[in-house]
Every structure is written in structure tokens, then in C-alpha cells.
Chains A and B, each alone.
Chain A
Amino acid sequence: MIGRARVVAASLAAAVALLVTLCPAAAHHVGTYVPKDNEITTNFKQIKFSVQAGKFAVARRLFDTGPLQTDMRARAARLPAGLEAGLRAALEGGDGAEVERGLTIFFAALARDLAREATRQTADPTLSREACAAIGARFLEAIWRYYNLVDFAVARRDDRTSVVIRLAFDEATGYAKSIAAPDKLREPLTRIAQALSAFIDASTPARRGS
């Protein structure tokens, strides 16, 4: 009786040992990466919270010395004319709504440019399906990092645009996850770029007045 129990115990121990030995990969937990804010999104949040607290002098200093303004200048050719000047004037005048509008346009433009570039890069016929899906997924992540900061402001101004972008984003994410149809990725990406372009045009003062 004792002999049988010993055999059973030894067999169980051997089975567990074998199982643990055969699947060591699962045990190699090497940490989890949590994406951080980049310098532009960090600066955006600093400015936004300063404005919300009514500290416009602080917000202006953060804008004047921060990377958001530097990036805005670097992309000036692709942004609506007078965006930086308008934003600074709003910060000086303590106009929170106008600051929000300027920042929303800027981040919408960042997301739009990324969507356009993603459309261009995923159209490369030399890319494999896997590479195309991987590139698409990376661009979508970058687009969302910027767009989600202003989605609420976009929805308040134009809820249809917000819905169009969200639906297109969901669709594109689905295509990027499936390597079966990465070529379909370009259609929702184009829709995102078009919707954001229309939103930017509709939100610029010159167009609004016309």
C-alpha cells in the first residue's frame, strides 16, 4: 500500500517537474511596457490643466518654452495660417475656449498627417501583408495617442466627425490585426484623414466667417 502511494507521489512529482521544465517560456516574465506620454502630449496636458485652473500666465509660459510650440512651428506649412499667433493671443487674453480650439486643431492636424502618411506607406506594393499590418497598427496607435486627447473637444464642436473617426479607427484596427486583409486598411485611414481635414477647415476662423 505504502509502495503504491510512493509510486503515485513520485509520478505526480515527475509530471509536475516535466511540465514546469517543458514550458519555461511562460515563466520568463520580463516586465510590461506601458506607453508613456511623449513631450508634445505632456506639454499639451500641462497647458490644458493650467488653462482649466485659470492660470493663463503659467499656460503661456508652458506654451512659449515647451515642445508643443516648437513642433507647431516645424509643421507650420501644413497647419492653418495664424494658428500659433491665435493660440498665443488666446493665452494672453485669458480666452479658454479659444485656447481649446487652437489646441484641438493642432492635434487634429497631427492625427490627419499621420493618417495620410500611413495611407501612403501601406500602399507600398513591395511590403508583405505582415509588414503592412504591422506598419498600420503602429500608425493607428500614434494617431490615437494624439486624437484621443481632443476627441471630447471635437465631439462638442462636431459630433458627426467624432463618430466618423471613431468608426473608421475601429475598422482600421480590425484590418491591422488581421493579416488577411491589410490592403483594406487604406480606406478607413483615408476616411480619418478626410474627416479631420474637413474638421480643421470648418474650425479655422477664416472659413467660419465665410
Chain B
Amino acid sequence: MSVADAVSAVLLPSGAAFCALGALGVLRFTNVLARLHAATKPQTIGLVLILIGAAVQTGSPAASATLLLTAVFQLLTVPVIAETIGAAAYHGGVVPPGSLVLDEGGGEGP
């Protein structure tokens, strides 16, 4: 078992565990914003751990670079997606009133 095998043997299952826990949150939480909070775990830390684990083990520098590019791209785009969905849900009025501890939306939301 080489060093690369050992590193990816740690990174791949831990990333997948983050994905599974995030998906459990997506399934079990009670409103859109709480599910959004849970959904960003597999999208950021889970995917990045898995991509690094795969990049260590592919043995091809070009493929590893492409996987790391995917990781960087995902870290840049996930906040945009979360903000867009959150703002759309807030202004669309599907967030239950009283579910927010602090409402800085200018009073035009739920």
C-alpha cells in the first residue's frame, strides 16, 4: 500500500461521509433555508475531499490538475448558488414567518 493509496483511503470515505450527512440534513430539516445550510456541506467539503483523494490516486498529472480545477470552481460557485436559491426563497415567501432569528431582508420577506 503506497502513500497515495493511504491518503486517498482516508480522504475518499470521509468526503463521502460528509456527503451522506449533508444529504441526511437535506432530507430531515424542516424548511428551505435549513436544508440550504445542510446542502452546502456535500457541495463544498465533501466534494473537495473526494476530488483531492481521487487526484492523489489517478497517477496522471493532467487528470489531477483537472480535478483540482473542478474543486476550485466548485468552491467559487457554491456560494453563488446558495445565495441565489436563498434570496429567491426569501423573496418568494416560502420561508415560514418566525423561523428566522435575525431578519436583515428589509422587512420585504416572510
Q: Do A and B come from one complex?
A: no
Residues on A lying within 8 angstroms of B by beta carbon are none
